[in-house]
Amino acid sequence: MGEDGGAPRDARLLAMLDDDRQGWVLATAVREDGEIVDFEMVYINDAGCRFAGRSREELIGRRYRELWPETVHDGTLPLYREVVETRQPVTRTVYYDRPSVTGHFEMRVSPWGDGLGVRFVDLRQLTVAPQSTAGTRLYDVLDAAFDGFTLLRAVTDGSGAIVDFVCDYVNQLGAKLVGRTAEEVIGHPLSEVSPGSWDDGLFDRYRSVAETGEPWLEQRPYPQVGQVWEVKVARARADAGTPAVAVSFREVTDQVGQQRHLAAVAAEAERAAARATDAAARATALQTATTALVAASTTAEVYAAIGSVLRPSAGGQGLALLLLHEQQLQLRFHDGYEPDVVAKLRELPLDHPYPATAVARTGQPLYLTSLAQFQAAQPDPAVAVPAGERQAWAFLPLAVGGEVLGTLVVGYRRPREFDYDEQATLMALAGLGAQALQRALLFEARTTLASALQRALLPATLPRVPGLRHAARYLPWTHGVDVGGDWYDIIDLGEGAVGVVIGDVAGHSAAAAATMGQVRNALRAYAGERHNPASVVHHVNRLVLDLHPDTIATCCYLEVHLAEGTVTAVSAGHPPPMLRTADGVHRLQLRPGPPLGVTPDAVYLDTTLLIPEAATLLLYTDGLVEDRRHPIDQGLRELRAALRSAPTREPGGTLDHILGSDVGPRPRTDDVAVLCLTSDAVPTAPPTARRRFRGEAISASAARRFAADVLTAWKQAPIIDDALLLLDEVITNAIQHTVGDVTVELRLGEHLRVTVHDTSIRPPERRAAPDGADRDNGRGLHIIEQLAAAWGSELVPTGGKLVWFDLPRV
């Protein structure tokens, strides 16, 4: 059917399909972004319309999701999509009994252009229709069958309730079972033919099957004749949708007798097999418990293994685990015990008469085989632990290397004797539990120390900064107890500036954590001295090389200026932050730098960007988005999607949404630190950006880079070259002839004004350029006068002077 996916154009094909007694449908694929999402019907023949119960006008041009919404969930649409994509035809048989379609169909689905053709045959019409040859053969078979068979059509009252059934068909054997001929049964009500159906409950069964569609099967004994009959009832469908049931009867007296005999033989064989395999069962129980307990690394996992594996292995119906703590037995885990028993077991002094205390003191097991023994051990009912529903107990010491950790109690609901083999198995199970528990307790002790160290290295609180909301999360590695090297920090730099940093020291060890603490403190110190971001990271890199030459670390440091709506950031081999604005989510495009600790010649260049009002900034470590199994590109796509779909601007809610989404590798194999910031500050008008630079030669290039980034963000590219040339002249002069910091301010009003503030009160002087090799020296003011729209110099009351120049804005 090689059409191009539109309506079929071959008249011969249409004529053939129109004359076919079976249903035919042609449909084209509906695609979105190249993916098939639905199918649109472009042709259906008359037989198909009859089967569907709708006219051609109701079907052509409409989609499957609209016509048959159930196809979305019953596997039909995915199957059709597979046929189109693989070009492989399939045949399936389905039964529908729904408002939109009813029938038992065999469907042949074949690819047709960018769509498919479906031929469907209603198997009911071929097998049970009385007017068909096949239907006649079926009734002949039913008449000759050994089973009794009848079709009963429901009779309803005015409210629609089923009050009787009329026989539409019965085979010869079925008529004999009620002592009549087929002619005396067919067309007559059940109340006349078999009034006893109301007394023996069969009528209620017929009605329930007709109403619910749930089939019913039962073997019914008839002691008066010494027979057993199997009765099966299934819902059928009469004309005009009237409820009906199909009932078959079969005598199974001999089969039931054989089954009972075989069941008795099998029971005896099972008892013999159980006795013969007790030893193997105990070995299997020990192996299963060993496997589960060896895999447990925390007390919670040990308790779970004890409850799910050890208790069934021990054969008990109740289990309690009590540990020694300061001359007491304390209940740490229970399974199958009643609340009143649990309340008494919470804390037991070692002199309490409950048998578990004696086991904890002596390390010797104790077995009580009856309720009387249990009550005799606790003669005072005022202090006794209740027995609950148990009548036998095994009290087992949890001992490792001669040290008793507590008592394991296994309770049984029936009195029992504990033979030697069972006692040996119970003691082995208790020993396995004790070893696993001791490992878990030691593991958790180490984990507690590691967690305390990690918390001590991370900031206890982050500073409150007006106009800035923030939240942070730290997720330790899901395996192991070593501390990691991930960290984050927020530093209030004053003057509306905030330092934000996130970093990751390679490794999971105390050494990595110690390095992380030193790097974090050093970065805070350099940032507090108001080094520009590139200088901060440069100094931290030298520190890492001096103190820890074998250490590699990454970090991203940002200096955020809330009132300006700007951020200056530098990356040292770290994943770039994400920024969410009203326009979407994107990564900050930062100038890359190598990780810390790689080389003393590393060059770090900062980047200045605009941060729009109400923007959200997200910083993270690489454990969130990648590991050796999860490519970083995939992780960044997942993170971008999660940040975009976060339903809130609240930083804490945003982080919870991201960490709850399908982002990055699972399970995680690295620590994760995440920091989210939302700016509520409104940027100043006109746009202004100011930075302070150290009085050192490197500051000139940093100032030019700052100005270039800001002017690019302000869309002032045509004047960038002139602005940078003039700024270079002014700031170089300030750095060469003054001591102290230099401040550069850019303000975009009716024109661009660039101001440089230094600590000197000496005004700039125009000098004639000397002849010789250095012909450019002394020409700074000449260049400014030629290029600037205006310029000037003035003293500042608080000290120092300002040199400014204006350029026409774009």
Question: Tens digits of per-residue pLDDT, 169-188?
Answer: 888 777 777 778 776 787 78
pLDDT computed for residue 276 by the predictor: 52
- Residue 236 confidence (pLDDT) above 90: no
Average pLDDT of the segment spanning 711-719: 94
- Residue 662 confidence (pLDDT) above 50: yes
Q: Helix or strand or coil: residue 183?
A: helix
- Residue 285 confidence (pLDDT) above 70: no
- Residue 469 confidence (pLDDT) above 90: yes
Contacts made by residues 368-371, CB under 8 angstroms, sequence distance 24+: 368/392, 368/393, 368/395, 369/415, 369/416, 369/417, 369/418, 370/415, 371/415
pLDDT computed for residue 162 by the predictor: 92
Q: Sorting pLDDT into bands at 50, 70 and 90, what band is 379? A: very high
- Residue 250 confidence (pLDDT) above 90: no
DSSP state of 606: -
Selection from 402, 387, 324 nearest residue 354 by Cα: 387
**Among the listed ranges 109-123, 302-316, 343-357, 420-434, which one has the minimum average pLDDT value?**
302-316
- Mean pLDDT, the chain, integer: 83
pLDDT computed for residue 549 by the predictor: 80
pLDDT computed for residue 301 by the predictor: 82
Q: What is the pTM of this model?
A: 0.51
pLDDT computed for residue 136 by the predictor: 45
Average pLDDT of the segment spanning 619-636: 93
- Residue 751 confidence (pLDDT) above 50: yes
Q: Sorting pLDDT into bands at 50, 70 and 90, what band is 591? A: very high
Average pLDDT of the segment spanning 283-308: 70
- Residue 123 confidence (pLDDT) above 70: no
Give CA–CA dist 309/286, Å, rounded.
10
**Among the listed ranges 200-214, 238-252, 596-610, which one has the minimum average pLDDT value?**
238-252
pLDDT computed for residue 175 by the predictor: 79
pLDDT computed for residue 431 by the predictor: 85
Are 650 and 469 in contact, with CB atoms under 8 Å apart?
Answer: yes
- Residue 482 confidence (pLDDT) above 70: no
Average pLDDT of the segment spanning 612-620: 93
pLDDT computed for residue 168 by the predictor: 80
Instruction: Identify the residue with better confidence: 328 or 11.
Output: 328
Average pLDDT of the segment spanning 164-169: 86
Average pLDDT of the segment spanning 111-117: 90
Selection from 679, 559, 561, 674 nearest residue 619 by Cα: 674
For the chain, give percent helix, strand, coil, nearest 5: 40, 30, 30
Q: Sorting pLDDT into bands at 50, 70 and 90, what band is 352? A: very high
- Residue 138 confidence (pLDDT) above 60: no
pLDDT computed for residue 509 by the predictor: 67
**Among the listed ranges 242-251, 334-343, 565-574, which one has the minimum average pLDDT value?**
242-251
- Residue count of the chain: 810
Cα 733 versus chain centre, distance: 59
Average pLDDT of the segment spanning 221-245: 77
DSSP state of 352: S
Average pLDDT of the segment spanning 306-325: 76
Percent of the chain with pLDDT over 70: 84
Average pLDDT of the segment spanning 774-785: 68
**Among the listed ranges 58-62, 232-236, 305-309, 467-471, which one has the minimum average pLDDT value?**
305-309
Q: Helix or strand or coil: residue 808?
A: strand
Non-local CB neighbours of 283 within 8 Å, separated by 6+ positions: none
Average pLDDT of the segment spanning 671-681: 91
Q: Are strands 366-368 and 347-349 parallel, antiparallel or unpaired?
A: unpaired
Beta strands in 595-741 (DSSP E): 607-610, 616-620, 672-679, 688-693
- Residue 81 confidence (pLDDT) above 70: yes
- Residue 135 confidence (pLDDT) above 50: no
Are 723 and 754 in contact, with CB atoms under 8 Å apart?
Answer: yes
- Residue 7 confidence (pLDDT) above 70: no
Instruction: Identify the residue with better confidence: 68 or 130.
Output: 68
Q: Sorting pLDDT into bands at 50, 70 and 90, what band is 68? A: confident
pLDDT computed for residue 129 by the predictor: 42
pLDDT computed for residue 139 by the predictor: 53
- Residue 745 confidence (pLDDT) above 60: yes
- Residue 1 confidence (pLDDT) above 90: no
Average pLDDT of the segment spanning 341-352: 92
Average pLDDT of the segment spanning 346-350: 92
